[in-house]
Amino acid sequence: MNRLGRRCLAAAAGLVLDRLVGEPPADVHPVAGFGRTMERVEEALWADRRLNGAVYALSGAVMGAAAGTVAGSTAVATWAVAAGRELRRVASRVGELAAAGDLAAARTELPSLVGRDPSELDDSGIAAAVIESVAENSVDAVIAPAFWAAVAGAPGAVAYRAINTMDAMVGRRDERYGNFGWAAARLDDIANYVPARIFAGLVTVLRPDRAREILAAVRRYAKAHPSPNAGVAEAAMAAALGRELGGPLRYGDTEENRPLLGDGPRPDPDDVPEAVRIADRAEWAAVGMLCLIWLAVWLKGRARRLP
């Protein structure tokens, strides 16, 4: 149990470190280096079969865990794979551009947040994309790294980020990756299952005035989303804002008719700052929760040592 407490405190420290200094520089960022390595692994292993994709996903997860073991420090590993500060910075920037009416610039910057085609999005479509990204990536880049750091230390945090990166690279349901990317996508679904629900719970606690609506939206809408986890986070955020997210979108030449999430009007750029504030407060709440777990474990251990 003492190890659990130390891991929780270290995970909290890693999130705070990300808030203070941001991500490592791009040229030495471990996630970017891992991505380049997995591109070479894909070249060697690719075939239109799930087995090949499973070998790819397993090898990447093992590499991530090994890198975490070498890193040693859970706090440093969590900082290296978390990206909450950058997520909120870019989301705020795109929201500001859209609110100022500079939709061309907003569309140019939007691909750094989402993979969808921004070329035909109006200001409401840009706002929806930003808010959905803030919700989903608050799980991927904040809650999940800290959760797996608390569960399994530095190897857990880095292995999680490896899985999440592989899902982004090959987890698409298209002709090339429909079979090859299946294992990476399923691993990512499993790894994010608990963190997504932690995020929704934190949003509910942070917006007690809309707690009933948030819980109802998650129950009603999340199951219709193609992702078992993104739908939970996005439905919670939609209800927290009193807005409707989801709907049709385009990835390159592929169109998807995503389900609508939430009840209310479509968002506009003025809703982005509140979504960013909710995500920011959710991260602080996660830090506080990790510290409380550490304190509870420490007090329990201290009580056992008393005569």
Residue whose C-alpha is closest to residue 157's, from 289, 8, 3? 8
Predicted pLDDT at 1: 59
Cβ(251)–Cβ(116) under 8 Å?
yes
The answer to whether residue 307 scores a pLDDT higher than 90 is no
What is the average per-residue pLDDT within 225-254? 90
The answer to whether residue 45 scores a pLDDT higher than 70 is yes
pLDDT digits over 168-193, tens only?
Answer: 999 887 889 999 999 999 999 999 99
Share of the chain above pLDDT 90, in %: 79
Q: What is the rounded distance in angstroms from the CA atom of residue 123 to the CA atom of residue 117? A: 14
Query: What does the radius of gyration of the chain's CA atoms come to, in whole angstroms?
Result: 19
pLDDT digits over 255-299, tens only?
Answer: 778 889 998 999 999 999 999 999 999 999 999 999 999 999 988
The answer to whether residue 253 scores a pLDDT higher than 80 is no
Full-model pTM = 0.93
Predicted pLDDT at 306: 66
Question: Does residue 247 sit in helix, strand or coil?
Answer: strand
The answer to whether residue 160 scores a pLDDT higher than 80 is yes
Cβ count near 143 (within 10 Å): 29
| CB contact set of 296 (below 8 Å; sequence gap of 6+) | 5
Predicted pLDDT at 128: 96
Share of the chain above pLDDT 70, in %: 98
Q: What is the rounded distance in angstroms from the CA atom of residue 151 to the CA atom of residue 11? A: 10
Higher per-residue pLDDT: 302 or 124:
124
CA 106 to mean position of chain CA atoms? 21
Token output for 150? 């608390």
Q: What is the rounded distance in angstroms from the CA atom of residue 164 to the CA atom of residue 115? A: 15
Average pLDDT, the chain: 93
